Structure 1
Amino acid sequence: MLQNIQYTKLRWLLTIGGLLLYIADIWTDLALSVKYYHLLKNGFRVVWTNSSKEEETKEVHHRLFCQATDLSMLKLFEAFLESAPQLLLQIYIALHHGDTSIIQYLSMVLSCFNIAWALVDYRRCLRRSLPHVTEMPSGLPTAIYLLYKLCTISSHVLSYSLLLMLSPYSVIALAILWLLATTWSHLLQTHFCSTRSHEMLYRAVVGFILTFTFFNVKGQGTRVAMIVYYFLYSLINMTTPLLLLLLMPEVQTATFFLGITGLIFGNSVLGLVFLVLYYLHLHPREKKREADEVDGLRKEAETGRIRHFLQP
């Protein structure tokens, strides 16, 4: 017997919203392909032709790394705006229905790895493109940084999925976190884009990234900001399973609860251990404090590359 299911006005509006998001996704992919083309074209000239002047060669290679950094930033935005919500939805569906296949588990793991690697790739490209900044070493430092991001992001996504299990209206709490992070980015007065409207969009995207992991917005010393951020991060990860246990006691008999709780606690601790290990022993050191992640050096900002980043 069919249930009384109605196609309401709300569902119609949601369908329109999904269509608009789909069109926007296609547009961003096309824009990203316009930037790959320019990088490949300019890189072809450098790789297959020889320049007689060493200084000109250095300048050309620097511009190529700047273009690669721009592409890395776009991939980072795509990873958090597209892959992160999809990963959260996948985990929520898996926990809610409990009939997930091995392929789906593998897909979720790869999605989490892709998000973490997008951060690592952007960090490496940016440090390579900024003058007078030590390049991020490959090998062990990169691996430890990747593990730090992988553990902290995965534990946070799992915590959010438990919140959604508690109530779908938990998305309101996630929206509040995004709003607070975006407000913090606004209070820092970032100067990343060439227009105010693009700058506001950039801050909103950074706020979205901050709901999942720490992101250095101003490119300055961030020890205090990181301590505050990861204190709140730990608070959310530690209290979410307890909150679910108190408000939904029936989850005690669910097969997923102990496993998810163990992953949240274990990955949270490991992520913080890798974070401390990286910044104490493996982080590149400069003789003077330099910018680190986003806005770059003041001299670099004056060249206009960063301020025109979001321009077509």
Structure 2
Amino acid sequence: MNLNEPRNFWLNVSTDNKMPHADNRYTKLRWLLTITGLFFYVVDIWMDVWLAFKYFQGKYYVWAGLTLGFVLVGLLVTQIFSYAWYRDDMNDVLINSERNAISGISKGELAVIHLFGVGIFTRYYYLLKKGFNVVWKSTNSDTVEERKDVHHNLFCHATDLSMLKLFEAFLESVPQLLLQVYIALAHDESSVLRYLSMAFSFFNIAWALVDYRRCLRRSLPHIREMPSGLPTVIYLLYKLCTITSHILSYSLLLMLSSYSMIALTILWLLGTAWTHLLKTKFCTSRSLELLYRAVIGFILMFTFFNVKGQDTKVAMIVYYFFYFLINITAPTLYILLKPELKTTTFFLTVSSIIFGGSVLGLVSLVLYYLFLHPRGKWHEADEVDGVGKEAEITGRMRNFLQP
């Protein structure tokens, strides 16, 4: 997403006189799915806060601090970006005139809303309110072009929200899942609440991945929609298997030594440095751009994303080579350093999930990108015609974080 040309650049796209395909309409099902996403978001945070409180009661202060810390980091970062995007929209006359989600709210009021951590809920409120008026109370008084713009505008709102949810999932749900898996494996601590927290973190991650991909592709012109059914299942299988196996590998490394945190920190710095070398142009300010690159560096610790919308076949191959190397190294080190545990049910189960998840995830990746990935033709302007609106959109879109 490029904020140098505001994120919502799709509002500047000219439309034809035909109603969009049904897949590009904001439907009643899509509205209900937004409520589902809100449910996963709220319950996941509530479960983690409750778990942190239980840890504190049991005098597990480090676990309580880490559990609550991940929640706060996720909330803080998403509030910062949400406020920055609202502020940029308010500064753009065209966007502010066509997107009335922030009408009547001053920058000071927006700052207060986000300071109290309810910026995401404000976005949910406006999306659900506008979506309800369109899909449940629609009339035939609008022209075809106006209806098309309204539906497209709703997906623009949804894409902003799904991007924030993606940040939150990787900054809060993923490390939370890693922490709780580590506690359950390393300390043999059984707790129904912990398993519920892990389950909702997992669901929140899965939802954020699919929702982000589908909303992004529906909100951008000249990009084919991601089909539902088998393509979505295979894509989700690829992401969840690779992320889960990586989390278990990191857990084994942390069980071997707490100094493994140094290695994980180095991985984060490498991902951040790579994002910096790509010279991303996501934000309107230098400080926000650096924060964005740090966030993407953290996401890259767990899964691959196309950071600039460019051909990343080589980068993806290199990434998953090292991904597989880490997943092999973790169980191997565990065998070498703790040989007495190599035949235990625990080790065999975890190793099987790591290897099985790695293979299944990589096979799903290959199947998806070879046979199921929607492909659209990019329109590039030549030197004679100059840069037209479609080419401008294409160039900016390549700065957007893409699955």
The two structures have a TM-score, normalised by structure 2, of 0.65
Report SS of the residue matched to 1:243.
helix
Counterpart amino acid of residue 120 in structure 2:
L
Counterpart contact for 2:173–2:201, Cα < 8 Å: yes
Q: CA deviation at 1:255?
A: 3.0
Alpha-carbon distance between aligned partners in 2 of 1:95 and 1:107, rounded to the nearest angstrom:
15
Q: CA deviation at 1:245?
A: 1.2
Residue deviations 1:43-101, cap 9 Å, x none? Answer: 24433243422112212211110110111111111111111111111111111122425
Counterpart contact for 1:113–1:150, Cα < 8 Å: no
Q: CA deviation at 1:275?
A: 0.4
1:113-132 aligned within 5 A: 113-132=203-222
Alpha-carbon distance between aligned partners in 2 of 1:263 and 1:269, rounded to the nearest angstrom:
10
Counterpart amino acid of residue 180 in structure 2:
Q
Which deviates further from its counterpart, 142-151 or 196-205? Answer: 196-205
Partner in structure 2 of residue 299 of structure 1: 393
Q: CA deviation at 1:25?
A: 3.0
Counterpart check, 1:37 vs 2:162: no
Which deviates further from its counterpart, 114-123 or 214-223? Answer: 114-123
Relative to 1, partners in 2 of residues 1:132 and 1:240: Cα closer, same or farther, differing over 3 Å? same
Partner in structure 1 of residue 14 of structure 2: none
Alpha-carbon distance between aligned partners in 2 of 1:20 and 1:214, rounded to the nearest angstrom:
21
Counterpart amino acid of residue 34 in structure 1:
T
Q: CA deviation at 1:19?
A: 7.1
1:150-169 aligned within 5 A: 150-169=240-259
Q: CA deviation at 1:287?
A: 2.9
Which deviates further from its counterpart, 112-121 or 31-40? Answer: 112-121
Partner in structure 2 of residue 94 of structure 1: 184
Residue deviations 1:203-235, cap 9 Å, x none? Answer: 111111110001111112211111011001000
Alpha-carbon distance between aligned partners in 1 of 2:144 and 2:126, rounded to the nearest angstrom:
23
Residue deviations 1:176-197, cap 9 Å, x none? Answer: 1011001111111111122111
Counterpart check, 1:267 vs 2:357: yes
Q: CA deviation at 1:122?
A: 0.4
Partner in structure 2 of residue 189 of structure 1: 279
Q: Of the candidates 309, 320, 332, which is equivalent to residue 242 of structure 1?
A: 332
Partner in structure 1 of residue 75 of structure 2: 25
Q: Of the candidates 79, 84, 87, which is equivalent to residue 174 of structure 2?
A: 84
Alpha-carbon distance between aligned partners in 2 of 1:25 and 1:101, rounded to the nearest angstrom:
25
Alpha-carbon distance between aligned partners in 2 of 1:238 and 1:286, rounded to the nearest angstrom:
36
Q: Of the candidates 318, 321, 332, which is equivalent to residue 228 of structure 1?
A: 318
Alignment RMSD = 3.0
Q: CA deviation at 1:164?
A: 0.4
Counterpart amino acid of residue 149 in structure 1:
K
Which deviates further from its counterpart, 179-188 or 16-25? Answer: 16-25
Counterpart contact for 1:130–1:300, Cα < 8 Å: no
Counterpart contact for 1:73–1:122, Cα < 8 Å: yes
Counterpart amino acid of residue 70 in structure 1:
D
Alpha-carbon distance between aligned partners in 1 of 2:236 and 2:301, rounded to the nearest angstrom:
18
Counterpart check, 1:71 vs 2:161: yes
| Amino-acid identity (%) | 65
Counterpart amino acid of residue 220 in structure 1:
Q
Report SS of the residue matched to 2:282.
coil
Q: Unpaired segments of 5 or more residues in structure 2?
A: 1-60, 80-116, 381-389
Relative to 1, partners in 2 of residues 1:297 and 1:164: Cα closer, same or farther, differing over 3 Å? farther
Which deviates further from its counterpart, 167-176 or 112-121? Answer: 112-121
Relative to 1, partners in 2 of residues 1:213 and 1:202: Cα closer, same or farther, differing over 3 Å? same
The two structures have a TM-score, normalised by structure 1, of 0.83
Counterpart amino acid of residue 43 in structure 1:
G
Q: Unpaired segments of 5 or more residues in structure 1?
A: 1-10, 291-295, 307-312
Counterpart check, 1:281 vs 2:371: yes
Partner in structure 2 of residue 180 of structure 1: 270
